[in-house]
């Protein structure tokens, strides 16, 4: 590691070395996260990943539900502008997201 620091010192100044070191640190952290969390077989980490996925997709479902409620409160004015097919598609997507991406992973993550 010391040889790498001296090589960086000779190639770049201290300010540039600090930036490069910061970038290398971030890349190292991303590689660690990918190897330790995304490729894990540890059941505890998998449950945490399931819960994070449920929270993320729950927010997506919440946004879809909010759009549906806005359309019901102000029909044809706010979001969908007299487009019944888009409204029905929005309801279908909301149902699919909530059932298959929130409820089922939550059940599997807790079991």
24-39 per-position pLDDT tens digit: 999 999 999 999 998 9
The pLDDT assigned to 94 comes to 95
Contacts for 78 with CB less than 8 Å, ≥ 6 apart: 70, 71
pLDDT band at 8 (very low <50, low <70, confident <90, very high): low
Q: Is the dihedral of CA 104, 106, 110, 40 positive or negative?
A: positive
CA nearest neighbour of 108 among 59, 55, 47: 47
pLDDT of residue 13: 62
pTM of the predicted structure, to 2 decimals = 0.68
Residue scoring higher pLDDT (4 or 61): 61
pLDDT digits (tens, 9 = 90+) for 45-69: 888 888 899 999 999 999 999 999 9
Taking alpha carbons only, the member of 71, 64, 66, 70 closest to residue 95 is 64
């Amino acid at each position: 590691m010391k040889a790498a620091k001296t090589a960086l010192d000779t190639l770049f100044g201290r300010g540039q070395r600090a930036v490069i070191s910061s970038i290398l640190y971030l890349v190292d952290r991303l590689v660690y996260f990918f190897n330790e969390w995304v490729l894990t077989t540890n059941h505890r980490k998998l449950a945490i990943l399931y819960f994070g996925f449920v929270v993320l997709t729950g927010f997506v479902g919440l946004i879809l539900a909010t759009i549906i409620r806005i359309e019901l409160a102000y029909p044809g004015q706010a979001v969908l502008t007299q487009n019944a097919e888009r409204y029905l598609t929005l309801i279908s997507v909301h149902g699919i997201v909530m059932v298959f991406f929130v409820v089922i992973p939550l059940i599997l993550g807790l079991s």
